[in-house]
């Protein structure tokens, strides 16, 4: 990829002018800043912007409810009874899965637990779970409590991967070596696809292969990966994955979660699971018989009937992704984040205020760059906020900035670094 960037504003504007995805920005509501203009929104890794089509999608379901009441389950273009199916093809395209390998249900941490119930099956010496050191807190608590649930001391059962001394990210070779070392003590590898703090995108295929070579299961939390980086979960042979929809997928606060279960596990009624009626074989669900018979595929892990309003908002966001296409988004993302990195490095040459801890190799990251502030990080962050930049602060001293290819522009990136440059 050519990376002959320039720090001139005119260059950024020219890039926007030839960006084939530039019209997608107008499909979203951008908040207004204190100064009246649009904010520079680099927080899509935390909460994606509202697609303009969401309101209409919600109003449509409210109308359906108002006019059809209980019959809404069976009538109309998208009867509620089958609503999860309307999200399957798009979720599958985003994750590189077959439609029956994915389902949207519940929320992320709930699904992480449901997956671990089925796929973390400690037996004999094989009981350890390999995680990233400093994993997202919810994931840590989920793992810790699952271990306790099986009567295993988390101190013993949870193995954390830590970067080498003086480094911030994990080296693939170190991850693979650790998996090999754990050998037959390893039950499950559970990593974020993209680490929420450093922005590192792990080599999920190599990690899955290494886990399988030791007879362990490979599962991933894709909260920061889905809609951000290209995924091929089926081909990579991943066992299971979970994600949320309110970050890069723009489904709104508390939006529903997605789940992937590889097809080789999809037709195993013998797998232990926590079951509910919506995972029951569709043809006979309403006979309300005793004895749980799961549907084939990921849908067999569903518990409850669909949360229609949040699914409708999610669908509106997915429609946009489907139209833009993940390949085109990734191509733009590589350039957009590359440009941000270029401008930041240039600024740092003048006076060194931060270190970019996200991997420099584009294939090892998504759109986010994490800046480790070398001094007065909080003041730097507050200054950005005062100047209508929305990004986020992670203790102890990291500022995460995520230029999202769907709605951010090269000009946003240029303006952001321009604000940074003016700090006294
Ligand atoms: C955002 C995020 C979560 C949030 O979990 P919820 O159950 O949706 O509140 C969990 N894990 C990771 C890695 C995340 O990035």
Is the CB of 136 inside a 6 Å radius of any atom of ligand 1? yes
Question: Token pair for residue 249?
Answer: 């997928």
Average of per-residue pLDDT across 278-296:
87
Q: What whole-number distance in Å separates Cα of residue 219 and Cα of residue 301?
A: 16
**Residue appearing with tokens 């039950």:** 187
CA of 294 relative to ligand 1 center, distance in Å: 27
Confidence band (pLDDT; 50, 70, 90) for 270? confident
Q: Are strands 392-394 and 354-356 parallel, antiparallel or unpaired?
A: unpaired
Query: Mean pLDDT across the chain, nearest whole number?
Result: 96
pLDDT of residue 4: 84
Per-residue pLDDT tens over the stretch 111-121: 999 999 999 99
pLDDT of residue 419: 94
CA of 254 relative to ligand 1 center, distance in Å: 10
**pLDDT of residue 93 exceeding 80:** yes
CA of 406 relative to ligand 1 center, distance in Å: 21
What is the atom index within ligand 1 of the atom nearest the CA of 223? 15
Average of per-residue pLDDT across 284-291:
81
**pLDDT of residue 192 exceeding 60:** yes
pLDDT of residue 424: 59
Average of per-residue pLDDT across 35-60:
96
- Strand residue runs (E) in 184-303: 186-192, 217-221, 240-244, 257-261
Is the CB of 233 inside a 6 Å radius of any atom of ligand 1? no
Half-sphere exposure of 407 (CA within 13 A, CB side): 28
What is the atom index within ligand 1 of the atom nearest the CA of 135? 13
Question: Token pair for residue 33?
Answer: 């800043």
- What domains appear along the chain, each with residue ranges and CATH number? 9-51+325-421 (3.90.1150.10), 78-323 (3.40.640.10)
Per-residue pLDDT tens over the stretch 333-382: 999 999 999 999 999 998 888 999 999 999 999 999 999 999 888 899 99
Per-residue pLDDT tens over the stretch 228-259: 999 999 999 999 999 999 999 999 999 999 99
Percent pLDDT > 90 in the chain is 90
Chain-centroid distance, C-alpha 375? 30
Helix, coil or strand: residue 312? helix
pLDDT of residue 184: 98
Contact 302, 278 (CB under 8 A): yes
**pLDDT of residue 291 exceeding 80:** yes
Task: Say which residue, 140 or 423, is predicted with more confidence.
Answer: 140
Chain-centroid distance, C-alpha 16? 26
Average of per-residue pLDDT across 215-225:
98
pLDDT of residue 226: 98
């Amino acid at each position: 990829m050519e990376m002959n960037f320039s720090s001139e504003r005119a260059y950024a504007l020219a890039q926007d002018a030839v960006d084939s995805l530039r019209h997608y920005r107008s499909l979203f509501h951008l908040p207004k800043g204190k100064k009246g203009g649009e904010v520079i929104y680099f927080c899509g890794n935390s909460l994606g912007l509202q697609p303009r089509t969401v309101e209409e999608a919600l109003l449509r379901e409210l109308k359906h409810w108002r006019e059809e009441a209980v019959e809404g389950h069976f009538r109309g273009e998208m009867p509620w009874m089958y609503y999860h199916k309307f999200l399957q093809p798009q979720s599958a395209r985003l994750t590189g899965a077959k439609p029956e390998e994915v389902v949207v249900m519940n929320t992320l941490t709930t699904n992480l637990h449901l997956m671990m119930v089925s796929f973390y099956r400690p037996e004999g010496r094989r009981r350890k779970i390999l995680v990233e050191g400093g994993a997202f807190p919810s994931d840590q608590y989920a793992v810790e409590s699952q271990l306790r649930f099986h009567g295993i001391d988390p101190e013993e059962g949870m193995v954390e991967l830590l970067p080498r001394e003086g480094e911030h990210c994990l080296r693939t070779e170190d991850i693979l070596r650790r998996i090999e070392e754990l050998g037959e003590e390893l039950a499950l590898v559970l990593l974020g696809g993209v680490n929420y703090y450093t922005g590192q995108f792990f080599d999920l295929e190599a990690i899955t292969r290494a886990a399988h070579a030791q007879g362990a299961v490979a599962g991933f939390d894709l909260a920061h990966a889905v809609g951000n980086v290209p995924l091929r979960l089926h081909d990579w042979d991943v066992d299971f994955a979970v994600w949320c929809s309110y970050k890069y997928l723009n489904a709104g606060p508390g939006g529903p979660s997605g789940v992937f279960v590889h097809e080789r596990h999809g037709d195993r009624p013998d797998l232990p699971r926590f079951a509910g009626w919506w995972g029951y074989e569709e043809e006979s669900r309403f006979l309300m018989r005793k004895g749980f018979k799961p549907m084939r595929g990921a849908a067999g892990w569903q518990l409850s009937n669909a949360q229609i309003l949040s699914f409708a908002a999610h669908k509106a966001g997915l429609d946009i992704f489907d139209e833009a296409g993940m390949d085109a988004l990734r191509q733009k993302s590589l350039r957009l984040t590359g440009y941000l990195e270029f401008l930041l490095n240039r600024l740092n040459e003048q006076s060194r205020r931060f270190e970019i801890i996200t991997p420099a190799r584009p294939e090892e990251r998504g759109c986010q760059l994490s800046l480790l502030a070398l001094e007065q990080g909080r003041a730097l962050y507050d200054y950005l906020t005062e100047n209508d930049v929305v990004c986020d602060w992670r203790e102890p001293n990291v500022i995460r900035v995520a230029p999202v290819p769907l709605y951010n522009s090269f000009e946003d990136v240029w303006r952001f670094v321009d604000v940074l440059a003016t700090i006294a």
